[in-house]
Structure 1
Amino acid sequence: MKSIDLTKGPISRSLIIIAAPLVAGNILQGMVEVVDLFFVGRLSPAAIGGVGLSISVIFVLMTLIIGLSGGTTAFVSRYYGEGNYPYAGRVLIQALILGLIFSLMISVVGTLFATDLLELFGAPEEVVIEGAAYLRVLSLGIVTLVEFWIVSAFFQSIGDTKTPLLIILVINLLNIVLNPVLIFGIGIAPAMGVSGAAAATVITRAVGLGIGVMLLGPLNRQMEFTRQAEADVCLMRRILRVAVPNMVQSGVRSVSYLIMYIIIVSYGTLALSAFGIVSRIEMLALMPGFGIATAAAVMVGQNLGAGDPDRSEASAWKALELYAGFMAVITVLFLMFGARITEFFDPSGLSNPYAISYFLVISPFYVLIAIAIVLSFALNGAGDTRKPMYATLLSYLLVQVPLALIIPDLTGTGIVGVWYAMAIGILVQTVALYLMFRSGKWRNIKI
């Protein structure tokens, strides 16, 4: 394990050194999502739709954790940049305590109300049955995902991105092995269907959490974890003040995504299956950029802690250039090979026309998505989490969702009108975040 001083040296070199393991880790994670989808797709279109719907519900329930992870990154990177290592360690302990509390809440809701939550979307009965089976198992073991996420965010925030990568490599290989074993039943393992995919995720994240905790040991002398192993309510409140707007931002995005699912359900099971496919494929394409954006957030936080906001801003712009260039290439690939990609996941071909229409409308906006993600992460890394929250509220709740209800009937474009509404929302969010970041007010944020 080796952390990197991100407050000195060439910006491009520092960004690439810290981003490369994050990108690799995100690609590995995205590949596991694709493997999940591949095996689940061998069950039925209803299984694909049910798992996709369940993951959307989990994203809503996980908004607390997404915000907490962002708050952890802002605090740890800022204190690490200042050279206050024990306080950076103290932040991790408080984040883990908060993560445990929040994960218990998520577990109760997701386990007890899985069917009720999915029925709210008006999905067909077979989709609800499959989705509820997946959601219950994932909710029962959600604490493993939550705490592993927080530990990984800590390593990343101190500039050590290789350790999380190695852990992800190990657990994702294990996940790929467990998927067919638990889904279809091999040897003494019973066939669990979609529940097996969820069980594989929970088991492997538990393994990853155990490895991560063990690897924190060598940092104890510098971070003083064992001396900080008690609740600090004051620090928790400070973390939450930064995290709550991030939670709202993630919550609005997730709720809007669920509303889009409700709208798409009205177009039938095949449309729902197609949206589940393109969502997974799109997430795989975005995964490398999330690594770049996370690196930007860490560099912004550490350099603000070191008193160098100019370097923070330059880091964000460099990350934006890298991600936007990558997504331009992805746009070309999806426009050229979108049909073949979707056929891989749905051998029946029945849902492919819906998926192809999605790529034709949305993929030209991928460069704007890259810009929005980097600027949002950079603002969050600075601790200025309110601005991304406002941009998300505007683009999703006030633009995308209303237009998704209006455009299809107004223009007679059907589900393609829903895709147009999503594209307009992307444009609005990107413009808003660009103006907010350019204002420079984030440079003086105190946390």
Structure 2
Amino acid sequence: MSELTEGDLFRGLITIAAPIVAGNVLQSGLELVDLFFVGRLGSEAIAGVAMSTSIVMVLMTIIIGIVTANTAFVSRYYGAKNYDMVAKGVSHTLILGLVFSILLSVVGILYAEDMLLLLGAEPNVALLGASYLTVLFTGSVTLVELWVINSSFQSCGDATTPMLLVVLANILNIALDPLLIFGYGVVPACGVAGAAYATIISRSVAFAIAFALLLSGRSPIPFSFRTKFEFSLAWRLIRVAVPNSVQSGLRSVTFLAMMAIVAVFGTAALSAYGIVGRLELVALMPGFGIATATAVIVGQNLGAKKPERAEAGVRLSALMNSGFMALMGAIFYLAAPAIVEVFDPSGASTEIGVSYMQTVAPFYVFLAVAIILGFALNGAGDTKKPMYATLFSMVLFQVPLACILPGLLGIGIAGVWLAVICGMILQMGMLFAMYRHGGWKSTVI
């Protein structure tokens, strides 16, 4: 495992970031495999899964906040070499994740189709999406708990174990996707629900292995079932988690609002937006890996009383991610038609998908810096500032702009894409100002 509080910082960053990036790319690759197979069922199936994914993002915001709090807490105390508090943090996060994931599952299962209809989905799209959502939320507990364990390993500098678990899960998922979606022999064709079944089964296997490793004593976390639950410690985690949950919720609500705005332009536009959204997520995954490593570096070095080293890590990460996203932006701009047509062979989504990619991709550098700064603040436990930046740049600025610009400028859906760019630039500027202020260095968890 990498020692992130001393020695060569670049090597330390690469050591922890590389496995996370690999795991994230594999995860995104899996989502593209899902999209590839679902795309063979038609544009309505693509739209249903795309809208369902958006709803999952909204309902999972509480869990995202809890995982972020876990990263800040575990990395801070691991850097301070207080391993008893590390174990307590992981134990309490698993309990919180279990409770909230059960509650979210109930909501997701009961109101799946209603939520899709509320977003403006046509009845057939809502029906397909609901079949996918219901299955996914039924097994969401294992998805959440696997996420918590993986983030705990990463926060202690072990990024290789989570990567291997993701590899295993993805291999299983890829094998199960066509089998469960289209059926074979005695296995019935489940349609879009088959993609969700494949996800749940593969993640459950990975979770069982991860939990066994946590209990085996061979992990960096001295986990035990005998750890006493402390409400005061749980509250400390929740206080860090809530602003990040709100931030994630605001981002997800923004995405849903943007999806509803795009839906006004028709099913083809919705399908295109779903495709480019998945492609964009793939492009961002390496950056999220670098950003996760940045959060760990910030947390561990603040715990070790080395804020200057934490700052150096943030600068290095921002340069790396900016360079990578500039490259991805160029690829997306130049190869947009060929990329979109891979996922919608009918060609119905091509024109709109290309217009998004060639308009937004040149501005990915702003998004790259914003991601690093946001994760750095979260890693310090200063989760309120990214929440405020998201509120103003996305909810109060980007969404209204997306409603106004298409008609105001007379450019149709291109006005929505212009609003995305404006929101991206504002968010980066706000986060940079907040980071430069330096208050995150004295945040207490």
Structure 2-normalised TM-score? 0.99
Q: 2:47–2:270: 8 Å Cα contact kept in structure 1?
A: yes
Match for residue 186 of structure 1 among 172, 184, 187: 184
Identify the residue that residue 266 of structure 1 maps to in structure 2. Answer: 264
Match for residue 387 of structure 2 among 383, 386, 389: 389
> Superposed, which structure 2 residues align to 1:22-61 within 5 Å?
22-61=20-59
> Superposed, which structure 2 residues align to 1:78-93 within 5 Å?
78-93=76-91
| 3-state SS in 1 of match to 2:381 | coil
Identify the residue that residue 168 of structure 1 maps to in structure 2. Answer: 166
Output the amino acid matched with 1:350.
A
Instruction: State the 1:222 CA deviation.
Output: 6.5
Match for residue 119 of structure 2 among 109, 121, 143: 121
Output the amino acid matched with 2:334.
M
Output the amino acid matched with 2:233.
L
Q: 1:379–1:442: 8 Å Cα contact kept in structure 2?
A: yes
* CA deviation string 1:97-139 (max 9, x = no partner): 0001110111101101111111101211111111111011001
Match for residue 315 of structure 2 among 314, 317, 325: 317
Hey, what's the Cα distance between the residues in 1 that align with 2:67 and 2:219?
Answer: 24
Instruction: State the 1:227 CA deviation.
Output: 5.7
* CA deviation string 1:391-432 (max 9, x = no partner): 000111111000011001101111110010111000000000
Q: 2:79–2:299: 8 Å Cα contact kept in structure 1?
A: yes
Runs of 4 or more above 6 Å deviation: none
Identify the residue that residue 139 of structure 1 maps to in structure 2. Answer: 137
Q: 1:275–1:355: 8 Å Cα contact kept in structure 2?
A: yes
5+ residue gaps, structure 1: none
Hey, what's the Cα distance between the residues in 2 that align with 1:128 and 1:112?
Answer: 14
Hey, what's the Cα distance between the residues in 2 that align with 1:317 and 1:132?
Answer: 43
Structure 1-normalised TM-score? 0.98
Instruction: State the 1:219 CA deviation.
Output: 3.4
Hey, what's the Cα distance between the residues in 2 that align with 1:115 and 1:223?
Answer: 41
Q: 1:86–1:222: 8 Å Cα contact kept in structure 2?
A: no
Identify the residue that residue 19 of structure 1 maps to in structure 2. Answer: 17
Query: Cα RMSD (Å) of the superposition?
Result: 1.0
Hey, what's the Cα distance between the residues in 1 that align with 2:315 and 2:400?
Answer: 32
Output the amino acid matched with 1:116.
D
Cα 1:305–1:337 change in 2 (3 A) is same
Instruction: State the 1:220 CA deviation.
Output: 6.9
Instruction: State the 1:144 CA deviation.
Output: 1.1
* CA deviation string 1:267-286 (max 9, x = no partner): 10000000000000110111
5+ residue gaps, structure 2: none
Output the amino acid matched with 1:97.
I
Hey, what's the Cα distance between the residues in 2 that align with 1:135 and 1:372?
Answer: 30
Instruction: State the 1:221 CA deviation.
Output: 8.9
User: What number of residue pairs does the alignment pair up?
Assistant: 445
Hey, what's the Cα distance between the residues in 1 that align with 2:86 and 2:25?
Answer: 28
> Superposed, which structure 2 residues align to 1:187-226 within 5 Å?
187-219=185-217, 223-226=221-224
Hey, what's the Cα distance between the residues in 2 that align with 1:223 and 1:153?
Answer: 12
Hey, what's the Cα distance between the residues in 2 that align with 1:426 and 1:219?
Answer: 44
> Superposed, which structure 2 residues align to 1:92-131 within 5 Å?
92-131=90-129
Match for residue 298 of structure 2 among 297, 300, 316: 300
Q: 2:153–2:220: 8 Å Cα contact kept in structure 1?
A: no
Output the amino acid matched with 1:101.
V
Q: 1:358–1:419: 8 Å Cα contact kept in structure 2?
A: yes
Identify the residue that residue 68 of structure 1 maps to in structure 2. Answer: 66
Hey, what's the Cα distance between the residues in 1 that align with 2:182 and 2:295?
Answer: 41
| 3-state SS in 1 of match to 2:305 | coil
Match for residue 360 of structure 1 among 354, 358, 361: 358
Match for residue 335 of structure 1 among 323, 333, 336: 333
Hey, what's the Cα distance between the residues in 2 that align with 1:158 and 1:224?
Answer: 12
